[in-house]
C-alpha cells in the first residue's frame, strides 16, 4: 500500500533481490532486431546491404538528410528487415542481425576531453544518446535548458519507482565515468551546479561519498527523499535560489562520457528484470535490439505472467507481445502475476489524487471537466504540467485511471474534437 503525503506518495521498495546482485551480461543472442529509428525518433533508411557483415558501432541506417544515424549494437550479419509493432515507436521497420560474434573489445585510447558546450551537444546528438529517464534525445533536452538562469543539473540515480535498481547498478559499476559524463553535460548547459543524486540510507550514502572522495567532491552527491516521484528541491536550501532543475539519467551520462572519450555510440543498456514471476530478478546488461522474450528467458520465469511491463510499476507500458526489442530508454522490465487493481467506480471526491500530485494539480477536476466535455475550462487547470508519474491513479480508492485522463487532457492541448456522428455519414 502507498502512504499519502502532502505532495508525492510513499511507495514500498521492491528492489531486492535484483539490487543486491552484480550486473550480469546476457549471453550473445541468436538474433536481434534494431529499430530503424534514430535517437530523436526520426525514421531512417537502411544503408547497409542485406547479407553484409557489420561491425559493432557501424552505421546501418541514416535519416534522409544524413544528419542522424542508427548504429549497430553488435557485430554480425545483416540478415534482413522485419516490421514490428513496438509500444514506443509504433509500427517500425527493424534490421535483423544474426550470426552475432562476440568480439573482444579493442583497447581504446581515451581522447583528451576538452570540449566546448556546442561540441558536447554535437557529440550527444550525432551518437543519438537517449536519456533513459524520459526517452528524450539527450542533446535536445540539454539544449532546451541551456540558457536557464541558476540551473541545477542532476544525474538522477535515485531509481524512484518500486522495482528498478538499474541506475544504482550503473553508479556502483561506473561512478567516476558517470560523473565525467555529468561534467560534460554541465559544460553543455553552461552550469557548474552539477549533482549526482542517489537514494540511500545515511550510512550507505556516507560510504559512497567516502569511496570516491579522491575523484568526486563529496558535496556533489545528494540524497533524494523517500517520496515518489523523486523531488530533490526539498533536500537542500540551495535549491531555493535555483529555480530550474534538470534531471538526466546516469546511463545517459555514462554514454556521453564514452562518446566523448572513445567516440562510441551507445550499444547496450542495463535493465532491471523483476516481478513476482521472475525466477532470478537481476540487473542485466543487454545489447540494444535484444528481444524481451530472450531477456525473460535468461532470467527465468517461475510462473506465467499476466502482465509483462516495459518500464517500472508506476509508469511502465503493458505489452502483449514479447518478441519486441529492448531500445534506448528502457531500463526496467517486469513480469507480474498478482496486481492489486480495485474495480473502478465513480469518483467519491476524496481529494487523495490532488494531495498526491507533486505538480500541484487537481486531477479529479481535470478528469471531471474532460468527462463532461467542458473543454474550454480545461486550460485553467494546467494539465500540461502533468509528467505522467501515475501517483494520482495509484492512490485513487475508486480504482480510476486518473493519470490516463489527465494525460488525455494534456495531450489534447485544447484541440479536442467532438464526434457527433457514427462515421458512416459520407
Ligand atoms: S500523473 Fe500527473 S496529475 Fe497525476 S499525480 Fe502525477 S503529475 Fe499529478
Ligand atoms: S479521482 Fe479518485 S482519488 Fe481523486 S477525488 Fe476522485 S475518488 Fe478521490
Ligand 1 atom 7: the closest Cα is on which residue?
A: 386
- The parent domain of residue 142 ranges over 110-262
Report the pLDDT value the prediction gives residue 125, as an integer from 0 to 100: 96
Report the pLDDT value the prediction gives residue 418, as an integer from 0 to 100: 53
254 and 140 housed in the same domain: yes
Mean pLDDT score of the chain: 90
Nearest-atom index, ligand 1, CA of 388: 1
Is omega for the bond preceding 17 within 30 degrees of 0, making it cis?
Answer: yes
Ligand 2 atom 7: the closest Cα is on which residue?
A: 347
Report the pLDDT value the prediction gives residue 119, as an integer from 0 to 100: 97
Is residue 158 domain-resident? yes
Domain boundary residue among 262, 277, 292?
Answer: 262
Distance (angstroms) between ligand 1 centre and the Cα of 356 equals 8
Buried b (16+ CB within 10 A) or exposed e, 354-375: bbbbbbebbbbbbbebbeeeeb
Ligand closest to CA 405: 1
Is residue 420 domain-resident? no
233 and 128 housed in the same domain: yes
Residue 252: pLDDT above 70? yes
Strands 53-54 and 332-336: unpaired
Nearest-atom index, ligand 1, CA of 229: 6
Residue 348, ligand 2, Cβ within 6 A: yes
Nearest-atom index, ligand 2, CA of 367: 1
Give the residue-averaged pLDDT of 84-102.
Answer: 93
Nearest-atom index, ligand 2, CA of 349: 5
Ligand 2 atom 6: the closest Cα is on which residue?
A: 347
Give the residue-averaged pLDDT of 291-305.
Answer: 97
Nearest-atom index, ligand 1, CA of 366: 3
Report the pLDDT value the prediction gives residue 413, as an integer from 0 to 100: 62
Domain boundary residue among 238, 262, 286?
Answer: 262
Ligand 2 atom 8: the closest Cα is on which residue?
A: 350
CATH no. for residue 248?
Answer: 3.40.50
Is residue 367 domain-resident? yes
pLDDT band at 205 (very low <50, low <70, confident <90, very high): very high
Ligand 1 atom 4: the closest Cα is on which residue?
A: 392
Residue 84: pLDDT above 90? yes
Q: What is the CA angle 381-387-391, rounded to 5?
A: 90
Distance (angstroms) between ligand 2 centre and the Cα of 339 equals 20
Mutate to test the pocket of ligand 1, among 363, 364, 381, 395 (most ligand atoms within 8 A of CB): 363
- % of the chain residues with pLDDT over 90: 78
Distance (angstroms) between ligand 1 centre and the Cα of 47 equals 42
**Mapping DSSP to helix (H, G, I), strand (E, B) and coil, where does residue 21 land?**
coil
Residue 388, ligand 1, Cβ within 6 A: yes
Report the pLDDT value the prediction gives residue 3, as an integer from 0 to 100: 60
Residue 361, ligand 1, Cβ within 6 A: yes
pLDDT tens digits for range 328-382: 999 999 999 977 777 788 999 999 999 999 999 999 999 998 888 777 778 889 9
Ligand 2 atom 3: the closest Cα is on which residue?
A: 396
| Partner residues linked to 45 by β-bridges | 62
Residue 424: pLDDT above 90? no
pTM: 0.89
115 and 243 housed in the same domain: yes
Is residue 227 domain-resident? yes
Strands 194-198 and 151-156: parallel
235 and 357 housed in the same domain: no
Is residue 213 domain-resident? yes
Higher pLDDT, 323 or 5: 323
237 and 131 housed in the same domain: yes
119 and 258 housed in the same domain: yes
Residue 270: pLDDT above 80? yes
Distance (angstroms) between ligand 1 centre and the Cα of 318 equals 19
- Distance (Å, rounded) from C-alpha 76 to C-alpha 98? 6
254 and 117 housed in the same domain: yes
Report the pLDDT value the prediction gives residue 233, as an integer from 0 to 100: 59
Is residue 285 domain-resident? no
- Distance (Å, rounded) from C-alpha 422 to C-alpha 410? 26
Q: What is the CA angle 200-203-205, rounded to 5?
A: 45
Decide: 389 and 228 in contact? Cβ < 8 Å. Answer: yes
Nearest-atom index, ligand 1, CA of 410: 2
Report the pLDDT value the prediction gives residue 395, as an integer from 0 to 100: 93
Residue 419: pLDDT above 60? no
Domain boundary residue among 212, 241, 262?
Answer: 262
Residue 25: pLDDT above 90? yes
289: cell is 535490439
119 and 250 housed in the same domain: yes
Residue 350, ligand 2, Cβ within 6 A: yes
CB atoms within 10 A of CB 252: 30
245 and 366 housed in the same domain: no
Distance (angstroms) between ligand 2 centre and the Cα of 366 equals 11
Report the pLDDT value the prediction gives residue 344, as an integer from 0 to 100: 80
Residue 235: pLDDT above 70? no
Ligand closest to CA 383: 1
DSSP 8-state secondary structure symbol assigned to residue 49? P
CB atoms within 10 A of CB 126: 17
Ligand 1 atom 8: the closest Cα is on which residue?
A: 357
Residue 32: pLDDT above 70? yes
359 and 250 housed in the same domain: no
Residue 344, ligand 2, Cβ within 6 A: no
pLDDT tens digits for range 149-177: 889 999 999 999 999 999 999 999 999 99
Distance (angstroms) between ligand 2 centre and the Cα of 138 equals 35
Distance (angstroms) between ligand 2 centre and the Cα of 4 equals 13
Is residue 237 domain-resident? yes
252 and 358 housed in the same domain: no
- Distance (Å, rounded) from C-alpha 256 to C-alpha 182? 8
Report the range of poorest mean pLDDT among 13-17, 91-95, 117-121: 13-17
CA distances from 58 to 40, 74, 331 (A): 18, 9, 24
Structurally, how many domains does the chain consist of?
A: 2
Residue 363, ligand 1, Cβ within 6 A: yes
Report the range of poorest mean pLDDT among 234-238, 301-305, 320-324, 391-395: 234-238
Report the range of poorest mean pLDDT among 3-17, 290-304, 325-339: 3-17
| Residue 230 burial class via C-beta count within 10 angstroms: exposed 0-12, middle 13-18, buried 19 and up | buried
153 and 255 housed in the same domain: yes
Residue 112: pLDDT above 70? no
Chain-centroid distance of CA 237 in Å reads 28
Ligand closest to CA 410: 1
Is residue 269 domain-resident? no
Amino acid at each position: 500500500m502507498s502512504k499519502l503525503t502532502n505532495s508525492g506518495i510513499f511507495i514500498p521498495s521492491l528492489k531486492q533481490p535484483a539490487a543486491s546482485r552484480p550486473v550480469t551480461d546476457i549471453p550473445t543472442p541468436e538474433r536481434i532486431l534494431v529499430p530503424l529509428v534514430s535517437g530523436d525518433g526520426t525514421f531512417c533508411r537502411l544503408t547497409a546491404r542485406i547479407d553484409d557483415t557489420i561491425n559493432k558501432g557501424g552505421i546501418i541506417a541514416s535519416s534522409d538528410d544524413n544528419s542522424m544515424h542508427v548504429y549497430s549494437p553488435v557485430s554480425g550479419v545483416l540478415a534482413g528487415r522485419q516490421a514490428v509493432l513496438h509500444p514506443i515507436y509504433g509500427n517500425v521497420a527493424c534490421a535483423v542481425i544474426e550470426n552475432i560474434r562476440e568480439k573482444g573489445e579493442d583497447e581504446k585510447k581515451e581522447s583528451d576531453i576538452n570540449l566546448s558546450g556546442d561540441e558536447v551537444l554535437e557529440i550527444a546528438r550525432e551518437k543519438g544518446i537517449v536519456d533513459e529517464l524520459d526517452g528524450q534525445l539527450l542533446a535536445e533536452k540539454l539544449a532546451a535548458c541551456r540558457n536557464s538562469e541558476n540551473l541545477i543539473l542532476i544525474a538522477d540515480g535515485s531509481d524512484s519507482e518500486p522495482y528498478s535498481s538499474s541506475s544504482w547498478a550503473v553508479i556502483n559499476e561506473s561512478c567516476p565515468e558517470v560523473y565525467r559524463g555529468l561534467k560534460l553535460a554541465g559544460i553543455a548547459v553552461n552550469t557548474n551546479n552539477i549533482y549526482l543524486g542517489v537514494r540511500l540510507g545515511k550510512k550507505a550514502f556516507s560510504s559512497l561519498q567516502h569511496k570516491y572522495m579522491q575523484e568526486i567532491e563529496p558535496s556533489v552527491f545528494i540524497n533524494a527523499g523517500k517520496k515518489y516521484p523523486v523531488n530533490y528541491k526539498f533536500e537542500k536550501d540551495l535549491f531555493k535560489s535555483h529555480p530550474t532543475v534538470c534531471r538526466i539519467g546516469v546511463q545517459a551520462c555514462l554514454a556521453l562520457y564514452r562518446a566523448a572519450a572513445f567516440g562510441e555510440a551507445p550499444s547496450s543498456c542495463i535493465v532491471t528484470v523483476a516481478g513476482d514471476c521472475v525466477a532470478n530478478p537481476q540487473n542485466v546488461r543487454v545489447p540494444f535490439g535484444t528481444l524481451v522474450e530472450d531477456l525473460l528467458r535468461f532470467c527465468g520465469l517461475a510462473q506465467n505472467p499476466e502482465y509483462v511491463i516495459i518500464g517500472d510499476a508506476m509508469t511502465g507500458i503493458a505489452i502483449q507481445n514479447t518478441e519486441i526489442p529492448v531500445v534506448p530508454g528502457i531500463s526496467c522490465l517486469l513480469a507480474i502475476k498478482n496486481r492489486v487493481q480495485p474495480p473502478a467506480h465513480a469518483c467519491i471526491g476524496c481529494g487523495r489524487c490532488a494531495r498526491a500530485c507533486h505538480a500541484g494539480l487537481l486531477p479529479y477536476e481535470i478528469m471531471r471537466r474532460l468527462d463532461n466535455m467542458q473543454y474550454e475550462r480545461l486550460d485553467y487547470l494546467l494539465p500540461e504540467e502533468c509528467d505522467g508519474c501515475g501517483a494520482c491513479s495509484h492512490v485513487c480508492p475508486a480504482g480510476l485511471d486518473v493519470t490516463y485522463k489527465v494525460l488525455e487532457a494534456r495531450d489534447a492541448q485544447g484541440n479536442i474534437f467532438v464526434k457527433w456522428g457514427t462515421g458512416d455519414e459520407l
